[in-house]
Amino acid sequence: MSSSEHGDGGQQDVIRLRGLEKRFGRRSALAGVDLTLGGQQIVGIVGPDGAGKTTLIRSLAGLLEIEAAEAEVLGYDLRADVGELKAHIGYMPQAFSLHRDLSVIENLRFTARLHRLETSAFTRRAEELLKRTQLAPFADRPAGALSGGMKQKLAIANALLVCPDLLLLDEPTAGVDVVARTDIWDLLQRERRRTLVLLSTGYLDEAAACDRLVYLDHGRVVATGTPAELRESVRLDAYRAWGDDPRAIAREARRLPYVAGARPTGRYARIDVGRPAPAPEQVLRDLVSLAHTEVRFAEPIPVDMESTLLALARRAGRQTAAQLAPTTQ
Amino acid sequence: MMNPIIHARGLTRRFGDFTAVDHLDIDVLPGSIFAFLGANGSGKSTTIRMLIGILRPTEGTIEVDGIDVIRRPRLVRDHIGYMGQRVSLYRGLSLRENVEFYAGLYNLSGAELERRWGALRERFSLGETEDEKAEDLPVGIRQRAGLALSTLHQPRVLFLDEPTTGVDVHNRGLFWELIQDEAKAGVTVFVTTHFLEEVEYCDWVCFIDAGRLIANDEPEALRRRYSAGYRIDIELPPEACDPAKALIRAAGHPVERTSIGLQLRVPELGAGTLATFERIAASHAGTIRIEQAPMTDVFRQVLAESGRPT
């Protein structure tokens, strides 16, 4: 497959969207998405349940009829005939959608034939992918009899088979263990050298490992940037308060007027403070003297991905409320 | 010491030549949150299916809430609640209609159902979506509804198989608060997950691989055993270093000078150690940073030491 007519690597935009909308009946799933992305990076689509992540990925794969001021993928217009575009895209849906009664290698061969891949090219590519996904020993096992993690790996191998110019993966690692996730990410890091890899994920460590994140909420892009840029953009200070009853600590911390959020874990509570914030010494003093519970020790900590995503969700919630306010008056 | 509410000995299941679960011993204390972890295909689901009485073990014994699960698999069902990754709600029925259907299975109706569901609806924030069709519920709400349904008959033990897979970070937090509430009310929670940071919410962790137990302990004990524990950096003005050093040594920990102040490593963070840090922070205006190994690293190390190629 030649990609020469569709740009050369990272220079050209792979995705250009302006005002992309998608409605399902009366429900608006995408409400004006603006997004421009170039190649050779791993871009993570993040956001709460129902934000429109799956609809965006399906739109980009040319599977939905959409409306937009501009909607170009690999130089093809999503509003026109997308038949040819689909040949250049590797897409993996959220639900396992390969043939359960075909073996691992038969599934791959089936995809290769649909794409008219030559036998020698198929053999080479399939061998390489089976090796890298560690599925080689299971090549003859029916896909339906694979474990959850192996099914996901097969689906990814299937999406990668024809060396696509754009990879669209909808929660490729949902329900996958940490070791298999590492294998999958090694594979994606390698693909990233040639293409744009766009994926959605619920894992915080994966979001932090993306080159770029697109935060979606209520069908709109609320924020984009590198993980570090997003962490900085939420303007938070984070603290950790250790004690015997972290749930009580979180509950009491939420009463402090400047606390944006507090989450208990087994041994401590994480406390997020929105800027402009009191000086750290003041926050630490307030935390160790919380009423109705004992904080043994409190410390400032770096803002993590969990705090970042929760803060973006809070901010998007406020934005929506502000947008709705005039019409409800 | 309390008697375990889940007690399995030599639990084994073979499928032909393949041994999915290989002589597992499991003890779960009442009212605890028990994390049951393992890689995909390690035998977790097979084990749960045996514990809840829908798959007969090849060998071994199981007792749940005093009931011999192998001999009386039907009886145990009134004592347990189960929820899987794909919550079983009937499509086409509203959430409320699903509740009535499940309540019927447990002979729960009328005022008793109203009371029970009314309380759950409130606590699980499900009131607004009660009339929505099951297929229209967002994932986070669907999983909460699943948890509510599995506790409708007030079971003593909850089995949750990957309940937070596919759920966003906000709803995962809410879900774990509900699980902790259940445990506080005395319910035993047996839960699997691939979000290893969720282990921090649990009282006990059991790792299996290839059907065998490879680690079985409290989360802190695993961290102590399979990681370098905690590293603490203390930023202090030079004149404050010696008094702080003395305090830490008195608490029983070796400590070193660094360019910014002091550094020490401790296998665990006891109340005394934390109190020492608080005293140093309060009296010397120092900044103390505690670093702990993430559970993903602990898990990798457990697997590596079990001899599995990673």
pLDDT tens-digit readout, A237-282: 999 999 999 999 999 999 999 999 999 888 899 999 999 999 999 9
Burial of A203 (0-12, 13-18, 19+ CB in 10 A): buried
Confidence (pLDDT) at B308: 63
Q: How far is A126 from chain B (nearest CA, A)?
A: 22
Give the least confident one: A164-178, B25-39, B269-283.
Answer: B269-283
Confidence of residue B309 (pLDDT cuts 50, 70, 90): low
Does the distance separating the beta carbons of B197 and A176 come in below 8 Å? no
| A264 vs B contacts (CB less than 8 Å) | 177, 180
Domain limits at B113? 6-219
A-B CB pairs within 8 A amount to 112
* Residues B150 and B234 reside in one and the same domain: no
Residue B304 in any domain: the answer is no
* Residues B121 and B248 reside in one and the same domain: no
Kindly report the CATH number assigned to the domain that includes residue B39.
3.40.50.300
* Residues B268 and B128 reside in one and the same domain: no
Residues A254 and A263 sit within 8 Å (Cβ to Cβ): no
Query: Strand pairing of A89-92 and A166-169?
Result: parallel
Residue B299 in any domain: the answer is no
* Residues B247 and B181 reside in one and the same domain: no
* Residues B252 and B196 reside in one and the same domain: no
Confidence (pLDDT) at B87: 80
Kindly report the CATH number assigned to the domain that includes residue B251.
3.30.70.270
Does the distance separating the beta carbons of A266 and B202 come in below 8 Å? yes
Residues of A with CB under 8 A from a CB of B: 47-50, 94, 147-150, 171, 174-180, 202-205, 240, 242, 244, 247, 263-267, 281, 284, 288, 296-301, 306, 309-310, 313
Give yes or no for residue A103 having a pLDDT over 50: yes
* Residues B97 and B179 reside in one and the same domain: yes
* Residues B137 and B237 reside in one and the same domain: no
* Residues B87 and B203 reside in one and the same domain: yes
Secondary structure (3-state) at A232: helix
Residue B179 in any domain: the answer is yes
Residue B201 in any domain: the answer is yes
Q: Which residues are A89's β-sheet partners?
A: A166
Ordered domains of chain A (ranges, CATH): 1-88+164-173+190-233 (3.40.50.300), 97-163 (no CATH), 235-302 (3.30.70.100)
pTM: 0.88
Among the candidates B219, B243, B276, a domain finishes at B219
Residue B14 in any domain: the answer is yes
* Residues B86 and B169 reside in one and the same domain: yes
Confidence of residue A325 (pLDDT cuts 50, 70, 90): very low
* Helices B110-123 and B139-150: angle between axes, nearest 10 degrees: 140
Which of A147, A296, A299 minimises the CB distance to B288?
Answer: A299
The tally of domains found in chain B comes to 2
Residue B303 in any domain: the answer is no
Confidence (pLDDT) at A7: 42
Q: Residue B290: in which H helix or E strand, if any?
A: strand B287-292
* Residues B197 and B265 reside in one and the same domain: no
Residue B45 in any domain: the answer is yes
* Residues B118 and B197 reside in one and the same domain: yes
* Residues B142 and B285 reside in one and the same domain: no
| pLDDT, averaged across chain A | 91
